[in-house]
Structure 1
C-alpha cells in the first residue's frame, strides 16, 4: 500500500527558553480544545479522513472486526455486592454497549433489571460508572460518566420501585461513594469549572462533602477540605458497620496519605470532627475494616512490599500494631469476611490469595488455575460468603462464590467461550535488561507454534509507571490477534507496582530511562529467542504506556515494525498544565526545575523525533473527550512525526469522538477501534489472518 499523503499542518514560530535552551513548539495551537477551536476540529477531521481511508483498505481489517465481535459476544458478569439480603451485580449479554445493573432478592432470587445505561444515549457513550447500595439495600447510589470524561454526576435510586430520586450531584471527580446510614452519603468533588475549561483546566480545591437525600446540592455540607493546600485530594470511605468515616489525603499520584477518621456515632454531638491518625503523607495506608473500635490497615510503612497492621481507637495512646509482617510477595489488599481475613498477594505479577485469622495466623491458601488475576473478596465482618473473579490471558473473567467457613468455592457465573483455551500456552519468563536487572515477561502463543519453534509476529505491551502492576487478564481484542496467528507478550517493566516501592522507584523521575531500556530489552529477547521474527515486532501502550511507545520508537526505530501509542503523554515539558497532569510530577518530575527538565527533555516523545531516520509504522490513537491526558499531546506528536523525514511507513492518528481516556467506552467503539489497531499492526508486522476464523467454542456453564 502507498504511504498516504498527510494533511498540511500549520507551523507557528513558538519558541521558549528553558534553562538556556531554546525549545521550539510549532504545534502549540493544537493544544486547544477540539470542541471549541474550529481550526483544531478541522485538523482532526482531515487527519481522520486520511486514517479512515488507509485503515479501510487494509486487507485484514474486516476479518479482525468480525472476529473481535464474535469473541466479545459472551455473557459477562460483574462481582456481586450483598446488602440487606439483596445481591447487586452487573451483566452484559454480549454485544450491549454498556453493562446493565441487576438485583436479586436472595442469591437464588429472580434477577430484576435496575439500571440500563444503553437507554441513556443514542451512541451508547453514557456509562454507569461506580455504584454502591446502602447498608439495607433500600437505596442505590450511582455515578454516571458521559463521553468518557473523568467528571461524574451522582444519582440515587429507590431499589424497590426502580425509580430515581430527584437528587443530582455534579462535578464529582476522583471520588468514592460512601453511604452514611440510609439518608445521605459522602463524596469528593472540585468546584464547578469556569466556562470553557471543564476538559482542560487544572484541578484544584478537591473537597469531601455530605449530601442528604432529598436536598439540593447547594445545601451539601462541607466535611473536609484544605484551602491552604489547594493541590491536595481527599477521598472518604465508611467502614462496613457504618461507625467510622476514613478520609485519606494526598497531593499526587504517589500512594502517600495523611489519614483522618471521623466517629460517625458522635456526629450529632461533634459534627464532622476529624481525628488525625497519620499526620504525614509519607506512606500508603489502605483501610481494611473495623470491628468495634479496632481498625486494620495495609501499609508500606517500614515495609516496601506491605504488611497488615491494626490500631485500637479506644486506647489512651493508640499505636499501630503489626498483624502480618512483610513477605517477599507484594500484599495488595486485605478484607475481613465473617471472622476471617483474606489477603491478596502478587507474586511475580500473578495473584495468590490466603485466608488468615484476625490475629494473622494462616488458615488456608486459595488454589488458582494457573497464572492469572484474582480480584474481589469483598464483604464485611460477619458475612458467611464472599465473591471473587478470576481471569487470565486465555480465560475470560469467571465469578466464584466462596464459603468463608469451609473455603470451598463454587461457580456463580462462568462464560461460554468462543475459542478453545487449551490451544494456547501461557508462560512467564525472565529476561535481562540493559543494566542486568531481571524483568518478568508473560508470553502467550499457540501451543502448536511453541512446539514447532515457529516464530510469529508478536504484539508486545507495556506500561511501566505510577506503581501500577500489569497482571494477566482476558481481552477479546488480544485473543483475535492470537487467532490470527500472532503471539502476545506483556512486560512487567520497572516503574510499575509488581514488586512494591523499590520496583516503582527504579522506573520513575531520574530512573525513567530504565523503563525504556526494559521494554527495548524485551523486544530484543523476543527476537533472540525466536518467538518473533525480525521485522515482526509490534508494540502497544496506553497513557503512560503511550509515552513509553513514543520514547522507544524514537530511541530504537530499527527494532519495531509497527507501533500503537494510545492516549499517550507526549509533551513532557507541558504535561502539568492540563487537568490532572499536575499530579504526575510524582512520577515524572517538575518541568520548571532544571534537573528534572534535563531528564524530561532527553526522552520527551514530541521533542526527540529524529529526521533522516526510518521509523516504523505508527498509529496514534486518542479521543476528543479525554480529560485525563488531553488529546493535544497526541495531536502535537503526530504533526511533528508527519513533518519529519521519518521514512516511508505510515504515521497516522485516529481520533475517536464521544470517548475519553478509556473507561466507559461502548462495545461497538471497542470493536471498531480494536479492528483498526490490529489490522494496522498486522500489516506492519506481516501478520496475515487465516481466511476462516476458528469458531470452535468450548461451552462452560
Structure 2
C-alpha cells in the first residue's frame, strides 16, 4: 500500500516497537476481530486495484490456474499394497476428490479411478468450507479410513471415520443413536492413529490442561470403538512445556510393536516401546537423533556426534549426520556396537532413507544434487540404485515394505524439466509411468550453480536459472530463501515461476543457506539460536555475489520467502535494505518478542530461542524485524501476504509489521487471504491468484520500473 500521508505524533521517529513499550498494534492480533478484518480488507482492495486488474495479471492468473487444473498433470499416488490413492483438484472439482485405483490401472494412459470422497459435494451438503487434510487408511484391510478435514485450511482439523465399502462417514455415538460407533474428533490439533479396526490411539483437546503450551496434545489415550472419548484409557502424559506427545502401532507381521513419543522441543524427542502391561522400554539414543526400526533392525540418524557407553571400556565416536544400524533386541539388551551405514563428508549428506521389504534405500545430496543407493541389511554394503540427472532432484517414493516387496517409484524434476514418474524395483528394470508436460517455454533457459563466501568464510551454494542470452548482462532477478528447521531446498520444476518470471526475461535464484539441511544436520545447527545471524549473512552474501558476478544489480534484485523464510525477508528489509529493489514476505514471523505466545510459536523456541530469557532476547532483539524498523532509512517496496486461517504462524505478524511500516512512511503493500491456512491458499483458484500477485509485483517493481 502507498505510504501514509502523515505520521501520528505517537509514532513519529519510532525505531521499531520497543520491547518495553506497549505495542500499539496488538489489536491486529485479534484474528477474526471486526476491526482487524476491516483493516485487512481495506488493504486487500488497494492491492487488488493496483496489481490484479490488468490484462497481464489476468492472463498469468488464468495460465497458472489452467496448469493447476489440467488433467495432464501427474496424479501422484500414495501406495497401500496393490492400491494407489490420490487426492486430486481440477476445474470441475476445486475442493477435490479423494480416490484410488490399482497399480495396473494406474499404469494405463487413462486410468479409471474409484472416487471415495467428493469434497465439493460434501462441503455443499454440510455447508462447510472443507479443505482436505489427509486420510489414514487401515492396513491391511483398507476397509476404513480416518479422514482429516479443516475449515478454510487451518492446521486444526476435524477427524472422522470413513467406511470404504459404503463410502459414507460412520456416525459417532450419540444419545439418539445407540448403534452408531464411529470414531470422530471435533476441530483441534489432534492425532488419531489406527491400532486395529476397533481401537485407536488418540491425542486431542480433552479439556483444560490436556494441551501443551504449543497447542498440541499433552496426553495420549487408547480409545475403543463404541465407547465415549471420556472413557479412553490414558497410556502416556507429557509436560505442558513439551511440544507434543504421540503414540503409534507398528503392524509389520511378526514384529508388531506399540510405542509412544514425547517431543520435549522441536528437535528433541524421547521414544519408548509400550509393553502389554503398560510399562515403557526407553530407546536410549540421543534425544536429537532420529531412530526407527524395521523387523529386527534399528536405525539411528545422528544430528550431533555421539559416543555411546559400551560397558566394556571401549568407546567409538560416531559423527553428526551418520546413519547407524544395530539389531533392535541387541540394542535393548545393552549392545552398542553399531554398523555405520552412512558417513557424511564436507560435500555429501543423507537426505532421506526408507525400507523396501528386503533392502534399505538411501537418498543423498552431493553439493545439493541427488544420488541414490541401495543397501543390503546385515553387511550394509552400498551400491548405486538408479541414475539421477544433474541439476535436478530425484526422490524415491511409495516404498511399501508391508505389502509391496522391493518395488518403489521415482520422481525426478529440475528447474526447467517437468516431473517424470517411474516404476522400479531393487535389481529390476525402471519403467516410465507418467510424464508431465511443459507449462512454460524453457528454450534457451539454463541452470547454473555458484558458491558465495559468507561473512565467516563458509561457501554457500545457490542455483541460477536464466536465459543464456542473459549471461554477461545484469538483469531483473528474484532470489528465494528459507534457512531453518533443517529443511533442504533442492531443484524442482515450477511452472508458475517459469510463466510469471523466466518467460518475461527474469532470472530466478534458489539459495541453500545455512539453517537448512543441504549439508546435513550441522548445516542447520550452525545457525540455531545465538548463531542465527549466519542465516542472514549467508543470504546477503549471495545477494552481493549476484551483483559481483554481473548477474543483477541491487536495484534489479528481488527476494521472496515464506514462514521462516518470511522472517528472513523481514531481516533483509530492516538490516540489508540497500541490497534489494523489492521484497515479498509471505506468512511470516516478524515480531520475535511475542512469537512464542502466538499459536504454535512456543514449539519453535529450540530454533530461535526464548525471548522471555534476557540472555536469549539479547541476540533475538538484534534481528527481530518488528523491533528494528527505522523510519529514517530507505527501504525497498515490500508486499506482505498472509492468511486469516493460518493457525500456525499468526497473521498478526504480517498485519502489525505492515501497519508499523506504513505509519513510518515506507512503501508497503498488504494482502490477506481470508482462508487458506499456512499455505496461504485453500484451493487452486486461490493458489493461482497468490502466485500471479507475487510475479506481478516483481514485474512492476523490477521490470517495468527499471525499464522506465
Instruction: Please confirm whether the aligned pair reaches a TM-score higher than 0.5, indicating the same fold.
Output: yes
Length-normalised TM-score, structure 1? 0.86
Q: Is 1:28 aligned to residue 26 of structure 2?
A: yes
Distance 2:93 2:468 in 1: 33
Match of 2:310 in 1: none
SS in 2 for 1:378: coil
Q: Is 1:430 aligned to residue 448 of structure 2?
A: no
Match of 1:103 in 2: 100
Q: CA deviation at 1:279?
A: 7.0
Aligned ranges 1:348-497 → 2 under 5 Å: 348-359=367-378, 360-373=380-393, 374-380=395-401, 383-406=405-428, 408-450=429-471, 453-480=472-499, 481-497=501-517
Match of 1:697 in 2: none
Deviates more, 1:311-320 or 1:615-624: 311-320
Q: CA deviation at 1:475?
A: 2.6
Deviations 1:113-145 (A, max 9, x none): 112223344699532222222222222222112
Native 8 Å contact 1:455 1:533 kept in 2: yes
Native 8 Å contact 2:7 2:664 kept in 1: no
Distance 2:690 2:641 in 1: 9
Aligned ranges 1:270-419 → 2 under 5 Å: 270=277, 272-278=278-284, 281=287, 283-287=288-292, 289-291=293-295, 293-300=296-303, 301=306, 302-313=318-329, 317-320=333-336, 321-328=338-345, 329-359=348-378, 360-373=380-393, 374-380=395-401, 383-406=405-428, 408-419=429-440
Distance 2:159 2:702 in 1: 45
Change (3 A) 1:531 1:642: same
SS in 1 for 2:678: coil
Q: CA deviation at 1:188?
A: 3.3
Distance 1:395 1:236 in 2: 40
Match of 1:641 in 2: 661
Match of 2:77 in 1: 80
Change (3 A) 1:117 1:298: farther
Deviations 1:536-594 (A, max 9, x none): 11111111111111111111212211111111111111111112111111111111212
Q: Is 1:600 aligned to residue 620 of structure 2?
A: yes
Q: Is 1:153 aligned to residue 153 of structure 2?
A: no
Q: CA deviation at 1:323?
A: 4.5
Q: CA deviation at 1:662?
A: 0.6
Match of 1:217 in 2: 229
Match of 1:51 in 2: 47
Deviates more, 1:505-514 or 1:409-418: 409-418
Match of 1:258 among 244, 250, 270: 270
Match of 2:257 in 1: 244
Q: CA deviation at 1:341?
A: 1.2
Distance 1:191 1:280 in 2: 31
Match of 1:696 in 2: none
Native 8 Å contact 1:445 1:482 kept in 2: yes
Q: CA deviation at 1:241?
A: 0.8
Native 8 Å contact 1:172 1:188 kept in 2: no
Distance 1:11 1:220 in 2: 55
Aligned ranges 1:542-553 → 2 under 5 Å: 542-553=562-573
Distance 1:423 1:689 in 2: 23
Match of 1:655 in 2: 672
Deviations 1:365-404 (A, max 9, x none): 3212222331425211561412233232223443322122
Q: CA deviation at 1:355?
A: 0.8
Match of 1:180 in 2: 195
Q: CA deviation at 1:315?
A: 7.0
Aligned ranges 1:677-692 → 2 under 5 Å: 677-686=694-703
Native 8 Å contact 1:145 1:152 kept in 2: yes
Match of 1:537 in 2: 557
Length-normalised TM-score, structure 2? 0.86
Native 8 Å contact 2:247 2:260 kept in 1: yes
Match of 1:130 in 2: 134
Distance 1:417 1:207 in 2: 48
Deviates more, 1:345-354 or 1:414-423: 414-423
Match of 1:676 among 693, 696, 706: 693
Unaligned segments of structure 2, at least 5 residues: 107-111, 172-181, 307-317
Q: CA deviation at 1:492?
A: 0.9
Native 8 Å contact 2:214 2:603 kept in 1: no
Distance 2:331 2:590 in 1: 51
Distance 1:421 1:639 in 2: 40
Match of 2:242 among 231, 252, 258: 231
Change (3 A) 1:410 1:512: same
Distance 2:418 2:261 in 1: 34
SS in 1 for 2:215: coil
SS in 2 for 1:366: coil
SS in 2 for 1:535: helix
SS in 1 for 2:283: strand
Match of 1:614 in 2: 634
Distance 1:688 1:378 in 2: 50
SS in 2 for 1:29: helix
Deviations 1:653-701 (A, max 9, x none): 10111222117631100111111121112111125999xxxxxxxxxxx
Q: CA deviation at 1:603?
A: 1.1
How many residues are treated as equivalent by the alignment? 662
Deviations 1:141-195 (A, max 9, x none): 22112212111222222223322222312345274x643233333343344579x
SS in 2 for 1:395: coil
Q: CA deviation at 1:246?
A: 3.2
Match of 2:218 in 1: 206
Q: CA deviation at 1:67?
A: 3.1
SS in 2 for 1:48: helix
Native 8 Å contact 2:204 2:219 kept in 1: yes
Change (3 A) 1:346 1:94: farther
Native 8 Å contact 1:311 1:318 kept in 2: no
Distance 1:332 1:6 in 2: 51
Distance 1:348 1:98 in 2: 39
Native 8 Å contact 1:150 1:173 kept in 2: yes
Q: CA deviation at 1:624?
A: 0.7
Change (3 A) 1:104 1:682: same
Distance 1:140 1:323 in 2: 38
Match of 2:542 among 498, 522, 545: 522
Q: How big is the alpha-carbon RMSD for the aligned residues of Structure 1 and Structure 2?
A: 3.2
Native 8 Å contact 1:261 1:275 kept in 2: yes
Change (3 A) 1:58 1:333: same
